[in-house]
């Protein structure tokens, strides 16, 4: 019995020491699609985790309840507003690492440039060891050639990067490629998030490789990077080897799971781009992104250079979700 008591207390001391060695983390945008997963991953990894509560959410009860659930799980809520510079500075001073997950998707809300206020607060606070801005998709540095109006996403992210680097803020950029919930759920088609059991339309010939990542895995890999010197001032690309598949291969995976062949058709690049006419601005932005992913192949058509590292190679202990595993949820 005494032996068990001693081991128990040694274990508590070890856990406490390990938590002291881990960075304190502030997550901005913690109630969002990726943000809520980052909060969970940070807590799971034993980080002292703070989530920014923005009074601007008003009476959005779902967000408030989500914030309270974070608190129940062990996170700390800290009040701060993009309309109150000092409140951001005060929040930043509580931690070592800031991760932003504010929305950059036009079909939801595009708030990427709000992060410039966060950059100013981080610079003034002067204590941050690492800042991870809201990126998580395609690497904006490789999208200088992107078509209008979709390029606004990448241009805005590059404005934020420039501000970070000019302020000499230590940073890590996360390029997580395609979110599985959107790309797999829609069988690589826009405007669909549940896979059809009847038919599918390919953009182009369907043979261009893309990269899909489970959103929970994105969060796990992201949190792994924050105390890793190998990722300092680098772009981290999340490229799970088994998830580098073409739309045709993704559809074939689905067909195997349901035991049925889908009716397949395709539209050319020219047809796809011409179909943008008459669409809303947000729809056009999304269409441009799908054009570059599905027709141009912008995610997998380059080698990672000296400025980047690959997450699966850095953290082989993370057992990522494969496309086949992910799609079984739709059965």
Strands (E), 149-296: 172-175, 178-179, 199-203, 210-213, 234-237, 244-245, 263-267
Handedness of CA 152, 144, 223, 80 (dihedral sign): negative
Q: Is the CB of residue 171 less than 8 Å from the CB of residue 131?
A: yes
Q: Which residue among 22, 36, 123, 157 is the active-site one?
A: 157
- How far is residue 236 from each of residues 119, 228, 255, 309, 311, measured CA to CA in Å? 20, 11, 32, 5, 6
- How far is residue 149 from each of residues 152, 192, 197, 204, measured CA to CA in Å? 6, 21, 33, 20
DSSP state of 295: I
| Residue for token pair 């994105």 | 218
Known active-site residue 157: yes
**Which residues are catalytic, by number?**
157
């Amino acid at each position: 019995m005494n032996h068990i008591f001693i081991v128990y207390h040694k274990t508590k001391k070890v856990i406490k020491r390990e938590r002291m060695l881990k960075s304190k983390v502030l997550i901005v945008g913690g109630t969002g699609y990726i943000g809520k997963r980052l909060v969970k991953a940070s807590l799971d990894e034993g980080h002292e985790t703070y989530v920014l509560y923005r009074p601007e959410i008003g009476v959005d009860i779902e967000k408030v309840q989500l914030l309270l659930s974070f608190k129940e799980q062990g996170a700390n809520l800290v009040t701060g507003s993009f309309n109150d510079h000092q409140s951001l500075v005060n929040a930043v001073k509580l931690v070592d690492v800031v991760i932003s997950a504010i929305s950059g998707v036009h079909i939801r809300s595009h708030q990427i440039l709000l992060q410039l206020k966060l950059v100013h607060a981080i610079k003034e606070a002067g204590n941050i060891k690492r800042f991870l801005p809201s990126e998580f998709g395609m690497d904006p540095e490789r999208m200088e050639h992107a078509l209008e109006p979709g390029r606004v996403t990448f241009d805005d992210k590059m404005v934020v990067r420039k501000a970070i680097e000019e302020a000499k803020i230590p940073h890590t950029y996360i390029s997580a490629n395609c979110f599985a919930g959107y790309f797999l759920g829609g069988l690589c088609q826009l405007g669909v998030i549940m896979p059809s059991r009847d038919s599918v339309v390919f953009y182009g010939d369907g043979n261009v490789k893309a990269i899909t990542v489970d959103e929970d895995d994105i969060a796990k890999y992201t949190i792994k990077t924050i105390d890793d010197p190998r990722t300092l001032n680098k772009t981290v690309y999340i490229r799970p080897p088994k998830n580098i598949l073409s739309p045709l291969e993704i559809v074939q995976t689905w067909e195997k799971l349901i035991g049925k062949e889908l009716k397949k058709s395709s539209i050319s690049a020219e047809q796809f781009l011409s179909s943008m006419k008459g669409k809303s601005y947000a729809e056009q932005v999304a269409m441009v992104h799908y054009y570059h992913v599905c027709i141009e192949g912008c995610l997998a058509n380059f080698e990672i250079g000296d400025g980047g590292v690959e997450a699966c190679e850095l953290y082989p202990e993370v057992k990522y979700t494969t496309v086949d595993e992910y799609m079984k949820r739709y059965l």
